[in-house]
Structure 1
Amino acid sequence: AGVLMLHMRSNDWMGRLGGDEFAIFLDHTGLDEALHIAERLRRALSASTFAWDGKRFNVTCSIGIARISGEQVDASDVLRSADRACYQAKEDGRNCIRVYRESDQLMSRRRDDLAWVAEIREAIVEGRIVLHAQRIEALHGPATLSYEILVRLVDAQGVVYPPDRFLPAAERFGEAVSIDRLVIAMALRQLDDHPAHLQALDLCHLNISAQSIANPDFCSHVVNLLDITRVPPAKLCFELTETAAIGNMTRAREFIDEMRRRGCKIALDDFGSGMASFAYLKTLPVDVLKIDGVFIRDLANNAVDPVLVRSMCEVARSLGKITVAEWVEDRALIDRLHELGVDQAQGYGIHEPCALDELIAATTTHKAAENF
């Protein structure tokens, strides 16, 4: 704050928004002059250091500039625009300046992302995060009841949004951990409330984001949830993407080891999409390999994908792991997948996702009819 004040004009105004965020109002200033002032502030901070506990630290800043036009009369709108530009500066490498422009595609995406973050937070508070499920079909042996939990967001008007609409914003702005915690708690509660369905269930798959894996408190939070539920851990499978696992290998291994010690299973999602997928099987003790859909969707149209899928299955079988083919959009692929050695299949050709409540009701009714 002191450094900034030294390099501001007498008619400028500065206030601390919170944390390390400051707002500066440049009175009667054109864009070119604002950029010149911002660069002066950036250089001043970059040249400054502070001492703490016998060490010296450098300081840098990201600056976002928003013009105040005659149409903008709401201070909150002005701050939001500057905030979007500031986040863009951070994404572009930090220690730089960006100007908010309504027509800029990156700024537009930032605006949309921030709107989604606000919607996500409201949806969590108002109970508008709902669970869907997609069945996973066994290709060998007797039929089993397994499915993956999928999250949906319902807006205030009742429109249901799939995860690809809001999860990218959640991951970009740190809300993925909140969603993961809520989804796991909701799924365990629903399974706990339906013992007949739980008895018939073979495996419930739950996705874990890279953000959650990196969070130091997430593992203990899941352990606490497992301690207070009657759901047998052996009926749960936590899915981690290869990207999430290698992004924080130490925490990923800690999470995997603790969940497996409890009796849960671990699946490596999108397997084969990374450059070193097979190498990670040496360090990540997973139980299930979910073969990335890029190898499945064109399986019948080229000679390469079948070879790759067969090799994945042979490696998995040698290591005692189960394989699941993702993105199975056509049941005509079932015989080919069976021939290649795939153990299970998942996709719209197998089952179109439905509300978890509906799946529980349907399987419970079917089980009761069988017993009768």
Structure 2
Amino acid sequence: MNFIYKRKNIFNRKALKLSEEKYAKAYKAVPNSLSITTLNDGVFIEVNEGTVKIYRYDREELIGNSIIDLGLWVDVLEREKLIKKVSKEGAISDFETKFQVKNGDVRDMLLSAEIIEINKELCMLINAQDITERKQSDERLSNQASHDILTGLVNRREFERRTECLLETIQQDKGTHALCFMDLDQFKVVNDTCGHIAGDELLRQLSAMLKKIVRHSDTLARLGGDEFGILMEQCSLDDAQRVTTSVLTAIQDYQFSWEGYSFRLGISIGLVPITDSKSNLTELLKQADAACYVAKDAGRNRIHVHHDDDSEMAERHGEMQWVTRISKALEQDLFCLYAQSIVPLYGSTDRHYELLIRMLGDKGEIIPPGAFLSAAERYNLISKLDRWVIDNSFSLLAEYPAFLKQINFCSINLSGQSLTEPEIMKFIISRLNECEIEGNKICFEITETAAISNLNMATQFISTLKALGCRFALDDFGSGLSSFGYLKNLSVDYLKIDGMFVKDIIDDPIDHAMVKSINEIGYVMGMKTIAEFVENDEIKGMLKEIGVDFAQGYGVGKPQPFKELLIRSNNVIKIKNSSVV
């Protein structure tokens, strides 16, 4: 029995020794820092290789020395919190703090700790994991989600989040704040002249400059494209105007150079005071956006401050209401086409019509284009309207081929926005083929301003469609600043003389001279001329004397529903055919 006891005791000691050895190996092999310190003064009793590696101290430098004296804790008060917590609970986990290691680096650490007793002395077993890289990665991801990659500024999402947080507290703090939207003027010129790489560099340089101008407490954001915003907390309207005036001056004085080119820019700024009466984010952003557009409309490179009784803002707000109606009309097909005749002033038998868009109201009433086109242009819906007109015009012309044979061509208006969209040109070509319409039956009207603003694209657009037989007219000719200089670069077939010169031609000698000059230029360049706003026979007679080729206006033919015109023309053709039989 004694033998058995001794043998069993030997086995127990061997097992214990093996267990201790296994534990020691595991202790040393753990990649995290495992250390044992005295509870009160933090003297290291034991450390593993992970501790040496993470803290950058040799084992000999750690054992016997205090974690406090070594200066590992960046904030010693944090250690006191840890000790209180672990003394109360016995063990804790997920305690985040910062340690300064031997080389001076500050590392983010995640600690777990528990109270243990060694030789009747309270000690603490600490498991420390270096989470610096993980924290930095999380911060990068968070930064990418809330910041613009190109400029490093806050992005629209984060800007709106911060604004919304401010609005939630405004009722309590009763503070005065301000917000502004800013839109660069002439940024497109840089992109079109030097390319997007130059445009990106310009945005980076401007962002760095703006950071130095705004207050430290302000949120400067890139909202998208060439649009910026500033949220100014605890800022009176006067102070906000000083900030935005500094921005305006800095942009005016700034010169951007790229590969031999130099550019001067401007900026249009819409400023809105934020008071406790404003608590709706959507409404606030609409007001800032509308104020920015008012600044643009007033001549650009200026500041417009929103006021609740602002008549210009009320007009802009009205345009925004039209945006919803336009979108609804596109979805529900609540548009229709009208046609206005273009009459030859000489013996020509040519029949031309300009096709015009109208909107159908809730009660079936006809809404003229003047009510909604400016809103469509301002809020980038105009190309959708162009597409609708092209699609429906081609479909109707294909449905009435006899009418198409009778006329010389139909004119369709194209916006400047459509000239810059390659998809529109592809759509036109596709629909011409689908509807089996000859290109020479279609004339596209583009405004002089749109053509000059997008000269390279306009030239390519015209060239491509003219190769298919399509014709082109330059609308509102004479309204631009460099009409004659740019005209030789545009291969158009017709010049439509701006109605502002035509309507007073009888009484105003300057208007008479302008119409005469435009007509002569058109003649020299082999282009036909069309006078708009021909209101009566007297004007018509004067235009005939000058030598203008065609007239358009209420004096020669009012716009009429296109579908009705097609049906009437079809009936006339049937009658003629039956009488011949």
Query: How do 1:244-263 and structure 2 match up within 5 A?
Result: 244-263=450-469
After alignment, is 21-30 or 87-96 more displaced? 87-96
The aligned residue for residue 524 of structure 2 is 318
In the alignment, is residue 79 of structure 1 matched against residue 299 of structure 2?
no
Partner of residue 220, structure 2: 45
Q: Please, which runs of 5 or more residues in structure 1 have no aligned partner?
A: 6-15, 49-56
State how far apart, in whole Å, the 1-side matches of 2:445 and 2:311 are. 33
* Contact 1:132–1:355 (8 Å) recurs in 2: yes
Alignment pair present for 1:169 and 2:375: yes
The change in CA–CA distance for 1:146 and 1:280 in structure 2 (over 3 A counts) is same
| RMSD, aligned CA | 3.4
SS at match of 1:217: helix
With normalisation by structure 2, the TM-score equals 0.55
Number of residue pairs matched by the alignment: 349
Tell me the distance in 2 between the aligned counterparts of 1:152 and 1:59. 33
- C-alpha distance in structure 1 between counterparts of 2:374 and 2:352, whole Å: 26
Judged with a 3 Å threshold, the aligned counterparts in structure 2 of structure 1 residues 346 and 20 are, in CA distance, closer, same or farther, namely farther
Partner letter of residue 182 of structure 1?
W
- Residue 61 of structure 1 corresponds to 229
2:170 to 24, 28, 44: 28
Larger-Rg structure: 2
Report the alpha carbon displacement of residue 67 of structure 1 after superposing the two structures with TM: 5.0
Aligned equivalents of 1:313 and 1:60: distance in 2? 45
1:238 aligns with 2:444: yes
Summarize the Cα distance change of 1:134–1:321 in structure 2 as closer, same or farther, 3 Å threshold: same
Q: Which runs of 5+ in 2 are unaligned?
A: 1-141, 147-154, 182-213, 232-271
Partner in structure 1 of residue 411 of structure 2 = 205
Structure 1 residues 37-46 or 260-269, which shifts more? 37-46
After superposition, the Cα gap between the structure-2 partners of 1:21 and 1:249, relative to the gap in structure 1 and judged at 3 Å, is farther
Partner of 1:286: 492
Q: Does the C-alpha gap of structure 1 residues 43 and 153 become closer, same or farther in structure 2, counting only changes over 3 Å?
A: same
Per-residue CA distance 1:323-349 (angstroms, 9 max, x = gap): 000000112322221111111000011
Is 2:164–2:281's contact at 8 Å kept on the other side of the alignment? no
Question: Whole-Å Cα distance in 2 between the matches of residues 308 and 81 of structure 1?
Answer: 46
Aligned counterpart for 1:195 among listed residues 372, 379, 401: 401
**Offset of 1:95 from its aligned partner?**
12
1:83-121 Cα distance to aligned partner (Å, 9 max, x none): 222313543479999876432223312321111000000
What SS class does the counterpart of residue 347 from structure 1 fall into? Answer: coil
Q: Secondary structure at the match of 1:24?
A: helix
Shift in Å, 1:243: 0.5
Q: Which amino acid aligns with 2:284?
A: A
Aligned to 1:52: none
Aligned ranges for residues 298-317 of structure 1 at < 5 Å? Answer: 298-317=504-523
Residue 103 to residue 36, structure 1, CA distance change in 2 (3 Å): closer
CA 267–37 in structure 1, closer or farther in 2 if over 3 Å, else same? closer
Q: Does 1:137 align with 2:343?
A: yes
> Residue 420 of structure 2 corresponds to which residue in structure 1?
214
1:344 to 1:287, Cα distance in 2 relative to 1, 3 A? same
Q: Is the 8 A contact 1:242 1:270 kept in 2?
A: yes
| TM-score, scaled relative to structure 1 | 0.83
More displaced 10-residue stretch of structure 1: 16-25 or 187-196: 16-25
Identity level (%)? 33
Point out 4+ residue stretches in structure 1 off by more than 6 angstroms.
Answer: 36-39, 93-99
Q: Is the 8 A contact 2:443 2:472 kept in 1?
A: yes
Shift of the 96–135 alpha-carbon distance from structure 1 to 2, 3 Å rule, reads: closer
Aligned AA for 1:333? I
Superposition deviation, residue 178 in structure 1: 0.5
CA distance in 1, matches of 2:418, 2:328: 20
Which structure exhibits the higher relative contact order, with contacts defined as CA atoms closer than 8 Å and separated by 6 or more residues?
1
